[in-house]
């Protein structure tokens, strides 16, 4: 399982400082409202309703769905989410 807290995603600002961004509601709403199937819709609900103070557990397949989904996002946000997902990948 991959653990990620979408409320506390770290990204670099224009001055190269680490800042935390909350992508849980934005990502959750997009997956829920624009998901291509029920799996994406339910994943959106899970991300949206995730607690602010702890990570949620994702399967490798769910992480892949999110990674593919954020390919539509601007680079800095997309890379921050993908970095968070990859940081939590199980070691092979």
What are the counts of helices (DSSP H) followed by strands (DSSP E) for the chain? 4, 4
Mean of per-residue pLDDT scores for the chain: 94
- Res 91 pLDDT > 80: no
State residue 90's pLDDT score: 55
DSSP 47-83: HHT--TTSPEEE-HHHHHHHHHHGGGS-HHHHHHHHH
For residue 37, the 8-state DSSP code is S
Q: What is the mean pLDDT of residues 74-82?
A: 96
29-62 tens-digit pLDDT: 999 999 999 999 999 999 999 999 999 999 999 9
Domain ranges, ordered by start, for the chain:
2-87
State residue 43's pLDDT score: 98
State residue 18's pLDDT score: 97
């Amino acid at each position: 399982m991959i653990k990620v807290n979408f409320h506390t995603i770290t990204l670099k600002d224009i001055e190269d400082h680490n800042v935390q961004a909350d992508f849980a509601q934005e990502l959750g709403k997009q997956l829920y409202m624009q998901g291509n199937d029920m799996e994406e819709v339910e994943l959106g609900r899970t991300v949206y309703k995730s607690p602010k103070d702890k990570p949620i557990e994702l399967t490798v397949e769910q992480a892949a769905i999110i990674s593919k989904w954020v390919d539509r996002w601007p680079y800095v946000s997309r890379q921050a989410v993908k970095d968070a997902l990859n940081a939590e990948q199980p070691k092979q």
